[in-house]
A and B are shown apart, each in its own frame.
Chain A
Amino acid sequence: MIIKVLGPGCKNCVTLAANTADALKELGMEAEIIKVTDYKEMAAYGIMSTPALVIDEKVVSYGKVLKSNDIVKILEK
């Protein structure tokens, strides 16, 4: 599973990445978390607000800093 956190590097995307790492730890799951800060790459996903969370190339959330429990719920699906 490849997880991407999209954002230019402001605090929100850093927090989202940290919350995602926490969620993975809680579930005992292993996954690569990639921070995407290049606008060209981000634009390809079609999002209009950051930060955004992409799991296996599918945008699961945008414009929100999800808490780790929210991320856990998404991962469990």
Chain B
Amino acid sequence: MHMFIFEWLNNQVLKMDWLNNLVNLLVENVFGLNTEERLGASIQFFIYDVVKIFILLSFLIFMISYIQSFFPPERTKKILGRFNGITGNILAALLGTVTPFCSCSSIPLFIGFTSAGLPIGTSFSFLISSPLVDLASVLLLASIFNWKIAIAYVLVGLVLAVVGGTIIGKLKLEKYVESFVFSNNMVEMEEEELTTKDRVHFAKEQVLDIIKKVWLYVLIGVGIGAAIHNYIPESFITAVLGADKWWSVLVATLVGVPMYADIFGTLPIAEALVAKGVGLGTVLSFMMGVTALSLPSLVMLSKVVKPKLLGVFFGIVTLGIILIGYSFNAFSYLFI
């Protein structure tokens, strides 16, 4: 009985079957297009996916921002300051998923953590998990794929963050951080006491902010997804990225890494590719490449970290993504 309710909730709230049917009716009766044919199917998919993503985005970002308002960077810094060693890395990776900030804040944050005395391994665990594992995109993953994949993605992302940060810490690369970062005079910013009204206001602002930032990526992503679903033949895709092609993970990672796009835009593309027979691992590698590493963020990091450390960071994360991709491809029968 419980499974049945869960199934129903999953289908109606996350997958929005009701929306799918509604849009189907709209396209067939109002636009007069046959949804069994390519044009009709593409339009139906486009409208349904865009609306679904925006509804989910709004709800999720609101709820998550509300939770995140309890974890401002200042508090994260204080919490992390109390732990050493791998506990610090694990906590940093976990907190990276709930601490809110725009990616351009990642550098001031790194400087803040480091000058407060946090070991750089811990700060890097945070820097790796933050863009990679994000509560909203995890829920979107569950909606577009399924919960097993979403949870696996989170675990794997956290492991990558912990391992990556620990390795960087163990390699004793502190001397490759620009010295001004350490000698910084940290001003103890007072934590603002937020009322419930403040939190609701913050959450609402985050929703508007993020939608304004990502709407174009979502539209483009869904557009590409729709094209893949209906216009690009499966044979072409599997020839280039098929699960059995040993290079598929490498290609996906190398394409994703220099790109800067919001993860919400990559999800519909990922869904379409998997439907066409691309390996789950290949697709996850693409998504991780796009989110964890990007040319803009590397450029910013290069201002506080010397080339050798930057290279190590980049190398570890890329290698991790490739390994994860191959593992997921090998074990995908467990998930789909």
Size category of the B interface is 20 to 34
Task: Considering the complex, give the chain A residue whose CB is closest to the CB of B303.
Answer: A39
B73 touches A48 (CB 8 A): yes
Between A and B, 30 residue pairs with Cβ closer than 8 Å are A7-B104, A8-B104, A8-B300, A10-B103, A11-B213, A12-B104, A39-B108, A39-B303, A42-B108, A42-B111, A43-B108, A43-B115, A44-B185, A46-B112, A46-B189, A47-B108, A47-B112, A47-B189, A48-B74, A48-B111, A48-B112, A49-B73, A50-B102, A50-B104, A50-B108, A59-B187, A62-B189, A63-B72, A63-B73, A63-B101
Q: Point out the residues of chain A lying under 8 angstroms from B111, CB to CB.
A: 39, 42-43, 48
Interface string of B198-221 (1 = CB under 8 A from A): 000000000001000100000000
- Chain B residues lying within 8 Å of A12, measured Cβ to Cβ, are 102, 104
Residues of B within 8 A of A59 (CB): 187, 189
Taken residue by residue from 4 to 46, chain B's Cβ proximity to chain A (1 for < 8 Å, 0 otherwise) reads as 0000000000000000000000000000000000000000000
Give every chain A residue within 8 A of B73 (Cβ-Cβ).
Answer: 48-49, 63
Give Cα A63–Cα B73 distance, bound, in whole angstroms.
10
Alpha-carbon separation in the docked complex, A7 to B72 (Å) = 18
- A-side interface residues toward B, CB under 8 Å? 7-13, 39-40, 42-50, 59, 62-63, 65
Residues of B within 8 A of A (CB): 72-74, 77, 101-105, 107-109, 111-112, 115, 178, 180-181, 184-189, 209, 213, 300, 303-304
Q: What B residues does A39 contact at CB under 8 A?
A: 107-108, 111, 300, 303-304
Bound state CA distance, A44 and B272, in angstroms? 47
B170 to chain A, nearest CB (A): 26
**How far is it, in angstroms, between the C-alpha of A63 and the C-alpha of B72 when the chains are bound?**
10
Q: How far is the CB of B226 from chain A (nearest CB, A)?
A: 28
| Cα distance A15–B191 in the bound complex, in angstroms | 24
Would A10 and B102 be within 8 Å (CB), given that A40-B180, A43-B180, A43-B181 are in contact?
A: yes
In the assembled complex, the Cα of A11 lies from the Cα of B109 at a distance in Å of 18
CA distance A13 to B111 in the complex (A): 19
Closest to B300 in A: A8
Q: Name the CB-closest residue of A to B202.
A: A64
